[in-house]
Amino acid sequence: MIYFTCAKFLKLIINIIVHLMSRLLFVLSSSKLRSKMHRFKSLLLLVLLILFIKSCKVAERTISDEVPEAQDPITAFFDASEIFAQSITGFALYDPQSDSLLYNRDADRFFTPASNTKILTLYASLKVLPDTLPSLRYEVRNDTLYFRGTGDPAFLNPVFDNNGAIDFLKDRTEVLAYYDGHFKDDHFGSGWAWDWYPAPYAPEKSPFPVYGNMMRLQAQQVALLMLDEEVPVKPRFFERYLNNNGWNTGQIELVTRSRESNELLYVPKADTARQERNIPFRYNRELFTELLADTLGREVAIAENPGIKFSETHYGTPADTLYKRMMLISDNLVAEQLMLMVSDHLFGDMNVERAIRHSVQNYLNGLPQTPRWNDGSGLTRYNLVTPHSLVILLEQLMNEYGEERTLGWFPAGGVSGTIRGFYHAPEGEPPYVYAKTGTLRNNTALSGYLYTDSGRRLNFSIINNNYVVGNNAMRTEMGKLLELIRTNY
């Protein structure tokens, strides 16, 4: 259309110039002048031709660039967003029906995914672990029952139902002997910050988690310890570590824990409300056997090297209860322990790195870009993944495990989990966003499924890195983007 218009206009101008030059040549009588004018005419026509063609191409580029902006609301949104302008952002919007990316904003570049890493952990766990998880492995020799952990984080964990393992141990008549030599890992994940040791989001990994590897302390009630009006620490076993005499922490806190031990410091102050503080404890096998003996009311010995195969298994925890806790609440301990369970199931020992390496080679080898995966939870900044790979993995979950079960693992916008307060559907309508969050300082991610007003189900992944605005500002901006997609696609 544009080239046709320019061509007609150019033809008209040339005809006019030719006519004028012909009249001029007719008037001139000198042959020498006619010859010069012929050459001038040819040169002038060539210059005019070049100028008009270039002007037409400029016009074409200008118009063609403006048309997609008018037709593409996502591009316009990103271009206008002052929030996204302050972030390095990757975004992929995938249509399962056409098996194509509807939108690609650096979707093939690698970003720090934070807890979106748990989507990888979920998929690896589903591929390896049974529907009912092993809670402990054991073997009886003479009058002794030797047992070891499988990594199951549900044992005596108050957020899960009783998996039967504690009753199993209580009811045995043999001498109990605990073994942990199959644990071949560090208690902190690769790349975790050293000062996370007292943080409730970073409990230690261990071969046999107990009570979620946490002390639960009622801060207000610590001052009433001597009055014994209520139990200030759960389990009460950890009361022995309370210390209100003070030590040099560098700052005054209500409750903190020593980096080298399980000693708890309580600094009395005017507590105005009851607060439960979840504080990770340091694992060692001596502490574990003492704690378990205190719970069971019977002695638990330590087995150095029994040389047995632990050929029997007690099963007790429904796998979906762990998957939902990991995905809905973003439970880091559950994520790390699941990868230890994957390793134990595959190789008979516990090492997250080994489980991840196997999973990448065997279950994630069809993704567009191979993730750089370093822990189960996403606490480390060493993890790198692309939005493109995440939307494809989301589709594999849907294809292999069905829509109803898959959506049950993901937080629902305005309804459940970590997005209960965000991404609300219009009043009276079901959730339109099911997605896993990811948050580290200066990093926010959201990946999942979006249902549009037109009835389409789209997969999306948006990862924002290296910004200094608040996380809530970033979440609010992502909500505007998702709403835009819901109404326009």
Are 128 and 182 contacting, i.e. CB atoms less than 8 angstroms apart? no
Euclidean distance between CA atoms 291 and 229, whole angstroms = 23
> Looking at per-residue confidence, does 43 or 159 come out higher?
159
Q: What pLDDT shows up at residue 104?
A: 97
Looking from the CA of 475 toward its CB, the CA atoms found within 13 Å total 16
Q: Among 19-23, 206-210, 223-227, 353-357, which stretch is predicted with the lowest mean pLDDT?
A: 223-227
Q: What pLDDT shows up at residue 479?
A: 97
pLDDT in tens, 289-303: 999 999 999 999 999
Residue 12 predicted with pLDDT over 70: no
**Would you call 487 helix, strand, or coil by DSSP?**
helix
**Sign of the dihedral defined by the CA atoms of residues 385, 391, 394, 400, in that order:** negative
Which residue, chain included where needed, has tokens 């989990």? 417
Q: Quick one: DSSP state of residue 194?
A: G
Structure tokens at 91: 């975004």
Q: What pLDDT shows up at residue 45?
A: 57
Q: Quick one: DSSP state of residue 106?
A: S
Over residues 421-450, the mean pLDDT reads: 96
Over residues 256-268, the mean pLDDT reads: 81
Q: Which residues contact 71 (CB under 8 A, 6 or more apart)?
A: none
**Sign of the dihedral defined by the CA atoms of residues 184, 190, 193, 196, in that order:** negative
Over residues 423-444, the mean pLDDT reads: 96
Residue 113 predicted with pLDDT over 60: yes
Work out the percent of the chain whose per-residue pLDDT is above 90. Answer: 72
Over residues 2-23, the mean pLDDT reads: 53
Q: Among 164-178, 242-256, 336-350, which stretch is predicted with the lowest mean pLDDT?
A: 242-256
Residue 67 predicted with pLDDT over 50: no
> Looking at per-residue confidence, does 255 or 146 come out higher?
146
Report in angstroms the alpha-carbon separations of 95 from 74, 142, 181, 394, 449: 15, 61, 48, 11, 10
Q: Band of the pLDDT at 44, cuts 50, 70, 90? A: low
With 0-12 / 13-18 / 19 or more C-beta atoms within 10 angstroms meaning exposed / middle / buried, residue 20 is exposed
Mean per-residue pLDDT over the chain, rounded: 86
pLDDT in tens, 338-397: 999 999 999 999 999 999 999 999 999 999 999 999 999 999 999 999 999 999 999 999
Q: Among 33-37, 139-143, 243-247, 277-281, which stretch is predicted with the lowest mean pLDDT?
A: 33-37
pLDDT in tens, 465-483: 999 999 999 999 999 999 9
